[in-house]
Amino acid sequence: MNNFVRTAPAAPGRAAQFQTTSSAPTVLFGVLPALRNRTLVRFGSHRGRAALSAAVAALIFGACSTGTSASSSAPEPRPSTSSPPSSSTSTDQPSGMTLLGLGDSVPGAGGACQEMGDSCRSYVLVLADLASKALGKPVIAINMAANNDVTSKSLLSGVKTDTAMRDAISKASIITIQVGNNDWQGPCLWKGAAACLESNRLRVTKNIGRILEDIAKLRGGSTKGVRVVAYADSSTTPAQLHAMFTKALRALNASTCKVARAHHVICVDLQAAFNGPDGTRPAGLGAGHPDTAGHEKIAEAIAKAGFADIT
């Protein structure tokens, strides 16, 4: 079970923050061009990837996926801010207005952000600061997004069965959800990718709808303060395949936002926000996973949706 790690008292103007820790190191999903008709290849921890050959730089799908590293040692838990953590941990949810982050290794601050250490914070934590400033009251961030291959299916299971997650959902004033990339593109090969992505899109959006239904039930029927975040295109897909990928991602994001609106939830489409009207502009968030500036930009995009429905 993940534990909340309490950071030191918040600095003036900054929200108090918590970050869940996970025993699984972040890894990157990708496909080498020579293996594009075979299975997806999981690479080891980001630290280990620094030693890979230049060919690995041609990895193509933007990675939100994570999994088990070849290394047997787990990384040290990292606090959510640069402040030293306190010595105590607790699974009890802190009191006060809370912002809960759910999802995969994008909100889980994997990839580039994990490599950068304490100088990089998940957009969930940055958004708590922005919400606190906008609302004029303290907002405590609890980031339960994880770097362990979270899919829409596994998150749905957590929402249904994980006691700590269900309790956090029931008490949260603001909830961000970004999930689905891992089970949308993760199982696909380059051969037949378009059909695979379309088939997975339908399953992912169905799961997101069920997640929102269960969240509403846990919050007395309310979806106020819930934000669904759709993906930006930060992939390094080869030019000959990028048009197909961009079209497929736009379809995923459109259906994700459609199901969000059907549940009276605000959807923030990062592809529309950062890749431009035709989806071809570089997102500028970092390669694959967001870097420090990328997380800050995502938080700002979510904050632009406003906090009028939050009390």
pLDDT in tens, 119-136: 999 999 999 999 999 999
What average pLDDT does the segment 289-301 reach?
Answer: 95
Q: Could you tell me which of 164, 7, 168, 183 has the C-alpha nearest to residue 84?
A: 7
> In terms of pLDDT, which residue wins out, 91 or 171?
171
DSSP state letters, 215-239: HHHHTTT--TTEEEEEPP------H
In angstroms, the first-to-last Cα distance of the chain is 30
Sign of the C-alpha dihedral computed for residues 136, 297, 125 and 107 taken in this order = positive
Please determine, for residue 48, whether its predicted confidence score (pLDDT) is greater than 70. Answer: no
What average pLDDT does the segment 51-65 reach?
Answer: 32
Q: Where are the domains of the chain?
A: 4-303
Q: What pLDDT is stored for residue 125 in this prediction?
A: 97
Give me the chain's average pLDDT, please: 75
CA angle 297, 302, 304 (to 5 degrees): 95
Winning range, highest mean pLDDT, from 26-30, 180-184, 287-291: 180-184
User: Cα separations (Å) of 239 from 60, 90, 99, 104, 244?
Assistant: 10, 48, 39, 26, 10
What average pLDDT does the segment 233-246 reach?
Answer: 81
Question: Model's pTM, two decimal places?
Answer: 0.74
% of the chain beyond a pLDDT of 90: 55
Q: Running DSSP on this structure, what letter comes out for residue 169?
A: H
C-beta of residue 230 within 8 angstroms of C-beta of residue 257 = yes
Residue 227 φ/ψ, nearest 5 degrees: -130, 120
164-202 per-position pLDDT tens digit: 999 999 999 999 999 999 999 989 988 899 999 999 999
Look at domain 4-303 and name its CATH class. Answer: alpha beta
